[in-house]
């Protein structure tokens, strides 16, 4: 990508654009456990179904489902429908065609996931410290308007941001250029004065870099970036931006 690395301790930019899920909020940390719970419940309803086998089928199916960009775009606007579809296909892998059970699984999974959403350690405090340091903050998040707004309001995040761009409200999401350009226009800032920070290498690093925005990758697991990807900076958590 030809990105110029931004070393730790470098001066903060005038503007930071931030992702929401798994950058500020722990949104997916309970994915495996929540699916395992609903698979165990389903096995009680259908004794011919092995909970472990169903969970394995769920894992295979959900990885397939979310791997396609178009399925991802459609699915994230109705997560309950997407989870129900995943459960339907996983059950069918095991020879079970039970739409009612699949719907209970899909909705039960989403209920468990929603109940587990929490701010990542230090993230809320980091937002306040960044604002105190004079940084203008914008939020760019994919997903449906209602579900994302619920999280923003639940954790009192709106006051931290001078711009909030939710895919379901703006009409376009990451990685489309218009999602980032809408934020730049609303904030009256230039791409060269802006960093984008998030956990998705394509959406939060590579796509913004193509517009001249520096990309900061939130990578708590320390995995290697894909071939050709060069984040301007890699951090484990938002708090590292202030160190």
Cis peptide preceding 169, ω within 30 of 0: no
Residue 144 falls inside a structural domain: yes
Q: What is the pTM of this model?
A: 0.92
Same domain, 126 and 224: yes
Tell me the per-residue pLDDT of 125-150, one tens digit each, with 9 for 90 and over.
999 999 999 999 999 999 999 999 99
pLDDT number for residue 3: 45
**Whole-number pLDDT of residue 228:** 83
Which range of residues forms the domain containing residue 67? Answer: 31-116
* CA–CA separation, 162 and 150 (whole Å): 18
CB 22 within 8 A of CB 220: no
Which of these, 20, 26, 54, lies nearest to 198 by C-alpha position? Answer: 20
Query: Which of 97, 116, 135 is the C-terminal boundary of a domain?
Result: 116
**Quick one: pLDDT band at residue 2, thresholds 50, 70, 90?**
very low
- DSSP designation for 193: G
Residues 6+ apart with CB under 8 A from 9: 243
Q: What is the mean pLDDT of the chain?
A: 95
Q: How far apart are CA 4 and CA 231, in angstroms?
A: 8
> Can you tell me the mean pLDDT for 90-116?
97
Provide the domain count of the chain.
2
Query: What pLDDT score does 174 carry?
Result: 97
Question: Could you give the CA distance from residue 23 to residue 181 in angstroms, rounded to a whole number?
Answer: 20
pLDDT digits (tens, 9 = 90+) for 72-100: 999 999 999 999 999 999 999 999 999 99
The domain that holds 155 is classified in CATH as 3.40.50.1000
Tell whether 99 and 134 lie within a shared domain.
no
**pLDDT at position 11:** 85
Under the banding of pLDDT at 50, 70 and 90, the label for residue 121 is very high
Same domain, residue pair 129 and 224: yes
Please identify, among 61, 83, 116, the residue that sits at the C-terminal boundary of a domain. Answer: 116
Is residue 183 within 8 Å of 138, Cβ to Cβ?
yes
Q: How far apart are CA 69 and CA 176, in angstroms?
A: 12
Least Cα distance to 14 among 155, 170, 130 occurs for 130
pLDDT for 1 equals 39
Same domain, 22 and 141: yes
> What is the rounded CA–CA span in Å between residue 56 and residue 90?
9
Contact present, 65 and 71 (Cβ < 8 Å): yes
Confidence class for position 227, pLDDT limits 50, 70, 90: confident
Mean pLDDT value across residues 184-211: 97
Where does a domain end: 116, 138, 162? 116
Does the pLDDT of residue 5 top 70, yes or no? no
193 and 129 belong to one structural domain: yes
């Amino acid at each position: 990508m030809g990105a110029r690395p931004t070393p730790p301790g470098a001066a903060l930019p005038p503007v930071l654009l931030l992702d929401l899920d798994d950058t500020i909020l722990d949104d997916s940390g309970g994915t495996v456990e929540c699916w395992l719970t609903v698979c165990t419940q389903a096995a009680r309803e259908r004794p011919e179904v092995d909970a472990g086998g169903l969970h394995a089928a769920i894992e295979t199916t959900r990885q397939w489902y979310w791997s396609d960009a178009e399925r991802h775009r459609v699915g994230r606007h109705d997560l309950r429908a997407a989870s129900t579809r995943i459960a339907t296909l996983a059950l069918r892998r095991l020879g079970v065609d039970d739409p009612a059970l699949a719907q209970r699984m899909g909705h039960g999974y989403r209920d468990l996931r929603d109940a587990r959403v929490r701010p990542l350690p230090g993230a809320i405090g980091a937002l306040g410290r960044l604002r105190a340091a004079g940084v203008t903050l914008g939020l760019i998040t994919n997903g449906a308007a209602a579900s994302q707004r619920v999280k923003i309001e639940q954790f009192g995040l709106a006051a931290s941001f001078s711009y909030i761009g939710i895919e379901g409200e703006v009409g376009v999401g990451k990685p489309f250029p218009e999602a980032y350009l809408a934020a730049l226009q609303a904030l009256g800032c230039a791409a060269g004065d802006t960093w984008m920070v998030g956990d998705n290498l394509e959406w939060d690093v590579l796509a913004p870099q193509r517009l001249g925005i520096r990309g900061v990758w939130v990578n708590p697991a320390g995995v290697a970036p894909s071939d050709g990807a060069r984040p301007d900076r890699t951090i484990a958590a938002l708090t590292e931006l202030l160190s």
